[in-house]
Amino acid sequence: MSELGAGSGSSYPGTLDINASSEVDAPNPGKTKARAATVNDLAAAILAIETELGVDPAGSKINLVTYLAVEHNSDGVHKDTVVCMVSGQQTYTAQKTYQKEIIGQSGAQFGLWGITGSGTQHVQNRAVISQSGAMWIWGDVRASGAMGMIAYTNATRPSAAQFGAGMMIFNSSDNFPNISDGANWRDMAGNVT
């Protein structure tokens, strides 16, 4: 901790500076003699703050507080509505609620699991996730490895109506995919199975 005006510069950002001995009424009442140490220490403190914050820390916002409020709640915790890191791995061990979409640039890789949402249908150029975890994808689905379907037997598969028309499972009783028409499970030839 540095005393401003003591000639030791500024201790910021390591510690906060203090001003316990202010320059008032010296040498006579109503007059203050400016000492070089005071001016130099104040200049050092200003330069330390500018160095710590960098150039234009508010970006396009009106001030730094407004800039920080974009991604932080008033208690300093990151807002759950602001989602992705630019790089690296992000791991959550508790439930998080996101109210915005995640947009990845070309070549971005996402490893997602345990996601639920409020979507009810596909949306052009988006992957939409439902409350149950079902996902609608607009466009081609491509995989660099095997792509599997959930497997059921004739006895364990839910009703076709429960899954809804167009949903597909793998039927391990007959070793073929089954497709729901909304009322019945059908094989790839269209026969009720």
Quickly state the pLDDT bin for 184 (edges 50, 70, 90): very high
At 72-120, the pLDDT tens digits run 888 877 776 554 444 555 555 555 555 555 555 555 555 555 555 556 5
pLDDT in tens, 24-40: 666 677 777 777 888 88
- Nearest one of 110, 148, 142 to 129, comparing CA atoms: 110
**What is the value of pTM for the model shown?**
0.38
- Where in the chain are the domains? 1-55, 112-146, 151-186
Q: How far is residue 179's CA from residue 16's CA, in Å, rounded to a whole number?
A: 68
Query: Is the backbone of residue 46 left (phi > 0), alpha (psi -120 to 50) or beta?
Result: alpha
Contact 173, 158 (CB under 8 A): no
Q: Is 133 left (phi over 0), alpha (psi -120 to 50) or beta?
A: left
pLDDT score recorded for residue 12:
82
